[in-house]
Amino acid sequence: MNQAVAKADPASAAGKGGAPRHVAIIMDGNGRWAKKRLLPRVAGHKQGVEAARRTVRAAGDLGIEVLTLYAFSSENWRRPASEIGDLMGLLRRFIIDDIDELAEAGVRLRVIGDYRALSPDIVSLIDSAIARTAENSRTTLVIALNYGAQDELVRAIRSFAADAVAGRIDPQTINDADVEARLDTSDLPPLDLLIRTSGEKRLSNFLLWQAAYAELMFVDTLWPDFDRDALAAAIGQFGQRERRFGGL
C-alpha cells in the first residue's frame, strides 16, 4: 500500500460508526432561496453567511476537526460585477465581525486558493485573521477563496515541471503522496465527507483530488436553511457507510 492510500485510510473512519475528521461543503442555493421569497440575490447571500456561522459553531460542538467551505470559486468571476461586489462585501464583514468569536472559540482559520488576487484590504484582513488564530486547535475552518481544483492541480504540475527541469527531482519517482504535498490542503487531514446543498449533484471544480475516496452527500436543503441538525444528520449518515478504499 502506498503512502497516499494509507493516509486516506484512517482507522477511525474505516467502517460503520466512524466520525469524519474533515468535512467540506459546497454551499449552494443562496440565489434560489432568495428567488423563492421574491428577494434580491444578495439577501440569499446574507442568509448564507448566517448559515455558515451556524455550521462553524456546530462543527466545533460535533467534534469535526476540519470544516472546509467553498466560498468563492475561480469561476465565480463570471458573475455580474454587482454580485461579486456584494459577495466581497459580505466576506469583509464576516472577517471583521466574526474574528473575535472564532478566536475565542478556538477556531483556526485557513484559506485555500489564490486569495491574494482579491483586493488588498481583504487580503490584509485575511492575513491578520490567519495570524491571530494560528495557535488555535479546537477546529480548523478552511475557506476556499478564488479556488478551483483544476487550477490547484495545474499549479502543482508546474512546480514539478520546474523542479524536473532544474534537476531537483526525477519525474519517474513522483507518486501520489508527492502530489498531495504540493496541494493547498497538504497540511490538512484527508477529506472524509463532502456535502453539497440545494439538490445539485456535481463537484463544480472543488477538491477533485481530495474527494477521490470521500463520501459524497447531495442534500436538497438550500444553503441558507442549513443548520446544526442538517450537519448532524449528514454525520450520522456518514457513520453508517462502509469505507473500503478499494479493499474488501
- Give the pLDDT score at 245: 76
Query: Using CB atoms within 10 A of its CB, is residue 150 exposed (0-12), middle (13-18) or buried (19+)?
Result: exposed
* Backbone angles phi and psi of 105, in degrees to 5: -85, 0
With 0-12 CB in 10 A as exposed, 13-18 as middle and 19+ as buried, what is 114? middle
- Judge whether 97 is annotated as a binding position: no
**Residue 223 marked in a binding site:** no
Catalytic residue among 61, 76, 225, 227: 76
CB 186 within 8 A of CB 180: yes
**How many C-beta atoms surround the C-beta of residue 15 within 10 A?**
12
pLDDT at residue 8 in the model: 47
pLDDT at 235 over 80: yes
Determine the pLDDT at residue 17: 53
28 is catalytic: yes
63 marked as binding residue: no
- Please, which contacts does 100-105 make with residues 24 or more away whose CB atoms are closer than 8 Å? 102/56, 102/129, 102/133, 102/136, 102/141, 103/132, 103/133, 103/136, 105/57, 105/60, 105/138, 105/139
Question: Would you state the pLDDT for residue 187?
Answer: 95
- What residue spans of 67-210 are helical by DSSP H? 81-104, 120-132, 149-165, 176-181
Q: Is the pLDDT of residue 247 over 90?
A: no
pLDDT digit string (tens) for 164-220? 999 999 999 999 999 999 999 999 999 999 999 999 999 999 999 999 999 999 999
Partnered with residue 109 across adjacent β-strands are 141
Domains and CATH numbers, the chain: 18-238 (3.40.1180.10)
Instruction: Check residue 77 and give its pLDDT.
Output: 95
Is 74 marked within a binding site? yes
2 catalytic residue (yes or no)? no
- The grid coordinates of residue 105 equal 472559540
By CB neighbour count within 10 A (0-12 exposed, 13-18 middle, 19+ buried), where does 211 fall?
middle
pLDDT at site 64: 96
At residue 18 the predicted structure's pLDDT band, cuts being 50, 70 and 90, is confident
